[in-house]
Amino acid sequence: MSKKPPSTKNAPNYAYDARRATINARLDGGEQLALYRVMVRIRRFEERCLRAYQQGKIGGFLHLYIGQESLAAGCCSVMDRKTDHIITAYRDHGHAIGVGMSMNELMAENFGKYTGCSKGKGGSMHYFDPTRNFWGGHGIVGGQIPLGLGLAYALKYRGIKGACMAFMGDGAVNQGAVHESYNLAALWDLPVVFIIENNGYSMGTSQERSSAGPSLAQRAEGYGMNWDIADNGHDVYEVRDKVDRALRLARDESKPSILEIRTYRYRGHSVADPDSTYREKAEIEEYKRTKDPIMALQNSLVVERVLTDELIKKIDAAARAEAETSALFAEQSPFPTPEDIKKDVYWEVDNPADRKSVGSLFFD
Amino acid sequence: MPVITYREALRHAMAEELDRDPNVVIMGEEIGQFHGAYKVTEGLLAKYGPKRIVDTPISEAAFIGLGVGASMLGLRPVIELMFFSFYSVAFDQIFNNAANMRYMSGGLVHCPLVIRGPANGGTNVGATHSHTPESIAAYHPGIKVVVPSTPADAKGLLKSAIRDNDPVMFMENTILYGETGEVPDGEHLVPLGLARVIREGTHLSIIGHGRAIQMAVKAAAILEEKHNIRAEVVDLRSIRPLDEETVLASVRKTNRVLLVEEAKPFCSVSAMLACIIQEKAFDHLDAPIRRVTSVDSPAIYSPPLEKIQLPSVDRIRAAALETLK
Ligand SMILES: Cc1ncc(C[n+]2csc(CCOP(=O)(O)OP(=O)(O)O)c2C)c(N)n1
Ligand SMILES: [Mg+2]
């Protein structure tokens, strides 16, 4: 990663083969299969979520990640699970599965059940698992980016050689807080990687209609920050290579960077989005046909003889069964109780033995 | 009178004001090409074009601040927040700039700007998207706050808000968007600061605004039918300016008060009303003032629990019976 745009952008470097990058060349068959499995599991989980939503089991919003699986799977696969951290927006199912959260706790969260990762309090947009260094799931566009900056700050402050991946969409780059974060990251050399998952649209607004300038990542130049673009975000190997470089820069030199990854979402912005005013069906079909991230990896693994037809079926069936089981688990789990509504608001109320303040905290 | 939805009433108000005043500009996320996240602005882009109907990036602080600045130079921006909850991204622009501008300039500068969008819970969108900041907004002198609960008021109040020379925060409700009601065609203005007695009664006054006051209307029907209690229901419609006269007249008539609102209880509109009522009509009260609000915690996602957290017809009915004990 360099301050100058690397060759993949201005003039495509046809010699670049992500599969041969060091981080990928050393993968053994088992590790490749693990990558593939994560992507299939994300997709099957989300398809099951969609059905549950249509059956009225899930309320509010459901933002599906279908089409973008190579990003979460690739990025999480190169994380140092002990010292790297991750935070993202509301389209968070892929990252949650990527860091190893179970489908059961995720589906239960979507159903608003007490067994959900956030006890049914946050819903689909607000998954959390600090034990896996996953700091959410956030609903306000761009609002999570200063938090990612803060996670990186805390790492540096505490002398931990880790990095934080702060994910956002292509629409989020136009929030002021994002730009303030870029500046602080560069000014204070914080170990953060700003990852823009550029799926081309923020709701119904295309990138051209929302963002000035030649590219989203290039805005880094204004802050003297490194940047790069993964043009082939559907290629999990390219995602891994580029994010690995950015993470190493953050961990080893405490330098921030912006990595823009080009991708595509197949479904509407959320399940309720009519998805008919801003793009043609043909555009979606074309991407599916030529760049589906799961098919791309599947094809290459078949060529490499890591995957067989039989194994493809087996992995798919297992992912479907896991998703189905999670729906059953969610269905059979209890809802929170009315008393739970007022828990998890204040530390002191949940831990009365630690209470130091006096006076009323609630007023009903 | 035509029967239309709350959503259509808002759209008609904007269209009529766009026709009337070339300085009216509608701005916000997904309001044009996408027809609005909740379809309130549907069709306006086709009719008025991109100069008057402006799609923005996701930059609330910038486009609300822009609205404040443009209003200083004679435009009348009507800015949509996709969810009113996103107002906090632009907090400084609204409460430091818009609210204080007239004062700090000694009256030289004013900001005729409307910020509108849905401010409600009840659709399981979680804590960050379910804020009901009427009291936070109304706390700031210089800001006006309006909350229509019917289609007719949606139209009449929005037209008045657009013509108003001060910044108005206009809080709608996604659950009410599809509700229908009779709305006068053409020029229909409801002045800001005028409450409406929706239902006359003698035993107690139920006072509030927004969807909660529509729940109170239903509760009042049950109280009459099942308990032989005649409740008066007063819809504030406007929080600041506030129609103290109508509120106090109702209190003097019924001598018992139940305040309802969807917001949390601490420092809320109902807390302010309770203060005003005890200050100005203490001798007319035969019982303590009661309130129905949301349960005092961030908005929970879990759908059945969110129902419990929010006011309901049944909670209002039960609280009314308590008030009469
Ligand atoms: C501050 C704020 N403004 C508006 C919204 C409504 N909203 C939610 S997602 C979204 C589009 C974001 O698009 P992008 O950043 O590209 O992410 P994607 O959905 O494509 O993953 C909008 C406008 C919000 N949640 N927060
Ligand atoms: Mg996007």
CB B58 within 8 A of CB A141: yes
DSSP type of residue B54: E
Contact A175 B124 (CB under 8 A): no
Question: Which residues does B223 contact at the CB level (< 8 Å), separation at least 6?
Answer: B229, B230, B231, B317, B320, B321
Closest Cα to atom 25 of ligand 1: A140
Q: How far is CA A78 from the centre of its chain?
A: 13
Q: Locate A244 and state its tokens.
A: 């690995």
Q: pLDDT tens track of chain B, all 325 residues? A: 999 999 999 999 999 999 999 999 999 999 999 999 999 999 999 999 999 999 999 999 999 999 999 999 999 999 999 999 999 999 999 999 999 999 999 999 999 999 999 999 999 999 999 999 999 999 999 999 999 999 999 999 999 999 999 999 999 999 999 999 999 998 999 999 999 999 999 999 999 999 999 999 999 999 999 999 999 999 999 999 999 999 999 999 999 999 999 999 999 999 999 999 999 999 999 999 999 999 999 999 999 999 999 999 999 999 999 999 9
Return the ligand number nearest the Cα of B80.
1
CB pairs under 8 A between A and B: 124
* Catalytic hit among B16, B17, B80, B129: B129
DSSP type of residue A129: B
* Three-state DSSP class for residue B206: strand
B contacts of A336 (beta carbons < 8 Å): 300, 302, 305
pLDDT band at A7 (very low <50, low <70, confident <90, very high): very low
A contacts of B296 (beta carbons < 8 Å): 342, 362-364
Q: CA–CA separation, B137 vs A152, rounded Å?
A: 35
Ligand 1 site, residue A77, Cβ cutoff 6 A: no
Domains along chain A with CATH numbers: 31-354 (3.40.50.970)
Q: Is B131 on the interface with A (CB under 8 A)?
A: no
Domains along chain B with CATH numbers: 3-182 (3.40.50.970), 196-323 (3.40.50.920)
Q: Locate A83 and state its tokens.
A: 């010292």
A139: nearest CB among B37, B128, B265? B128
Gap from CA of A342 to ligand 1 centroid (Å): 29
No. of H helices and E strands in chain A? 13, 7
Please report, for residues A347, A363, B186, B208, B236, the alpha-carbon distance to residue B216 in angstroms, rounded to integers and kept in the order given: 35, 22, 30, 8, 13
- Write down the residue that tokens 């629990």 correspond to: B305
The span from the first CA to the last CA of chain A, in angstroms, equals 55
Ligand 1 site, residue A138, Cβ cutoff 6 A: no
pLDDT at A3 over 60: no
pLDDT at A89 over 50: yes
Residue B303 distance to chain A (closest CA, Å): 6
Contact A126 B126 (CB under 8 A): yes
DSSP type of residue B262: S
* Catalytic hit among B17, B60, B134, B261: B60
Contact A61 B62 (CB under 8 A): no
Give me chain B's average pLDDT, please.
98
| The predicted structure's pLDDT at residue A12 | 54
CB A163 within 8 A of CB A191: yes
* Nearest C-alpha in A relative to B37: A273
Contact A174 B58 (CB under 8 A): yes
Q: Return the closest-CA partner of residue B80 out of B17, B10, B142, B151.
A: B10
Residue B60 is a catalytic residue: yes
pLDDT at A13 over 90: no
Q: CA–CA separation, B256 vs B5, rounded Å?
A: 34
Ligand 1 site, residue A141, Cβ cutoff 6 A: yes
pLDDT band at A45 (very low <50, low <70, confident <90, very high): very high
Task: Rounding to the nearest 10 degrees, give the CA dihedral for residues B140, B142, B147, B153.
Answer: 170
* Nearest C-alpha in A relative to B123: A60
With the most atoms of ligand 1 within 8 angstroms of its CB, the residue from B38, B56, B59, B82 to mutate is: B82
pTM over 0.95: yes
The span from the first CA to the last CA of chain B, in angstroms, equals 41
| The predicted structure's pLDDT at residue A2 | 47
Ligand 1 site, residue A196, Cβ cutoff 6 A: no
pLDDT band at A274 (very low <50, low <70, confident <90, very high): confident
Cis peptide before A214 (omega within 30 of 0): no
| The predicted structure's pLDDT at residue A276 | 78
With the most atoms of ligand 1 within 8 angstroms of its CB, the residue from A141, A174, A216 to mutate is: A141
CB A326 within 8 A of CB A97: no
Residue A112 distance to chain B (closest CA, Å): 4
Q: How far is CA A112 from the centre of its chain?
A: 21
Q: Locate B140 and state its tokens.
A: 């700031």
The ligand 1 atom at the shortest distance from the C-alpha of residue A198 is 16
Please report, for residues A16, A111, A310, the alpha-carbon distance to residue A225 in angstroms, rounded to integers and kept in the order given: 23, 42, 47
Average pLDDT over residues A150-177: 98
Residue B30 is a catalytic residue: no
pLDDT at A283 over 90: yes
Model confidence over A96-110: pLDDT tens digits?
999 999 999 999 999
ipTM of the prediction: 0.97
**How many CB atoms are located within 10 Å of the residue B73 CB?**
8
Ligand 1 site, residue B29, Cβ cutoff 6 A: yes
pLDDT band at A174 (very low <50, low <70, confident <90, very high): very high
pLDDT at A11 over 90: no
Q: Is B61 on the interface with A (CB under 8 A)?
A: yes
B contacts of A338 (beta carbons < 8 Å): 305, 308
pLDDT band at A76 (very low <50, low <70, confident <90, very high): very high
Residue A273 distance to chain B (closest CA, Å): 8
DSSP type of residue B144: E
With the most atoms of ligand 1 within 8 angstroms of its CB, the residue from B29, B31, B56, B58 to mutate is: B58
Model confidence over B48-70: pLDDT tens digits?
999 999 999 999 999 999 999 99
Give me chain A's average pLDDT, please.
95
Model confidence over A204-250: pLDDT tens digits?
999 999 999 999 999 999 999 999 999 999 999 999 999 999 999 99
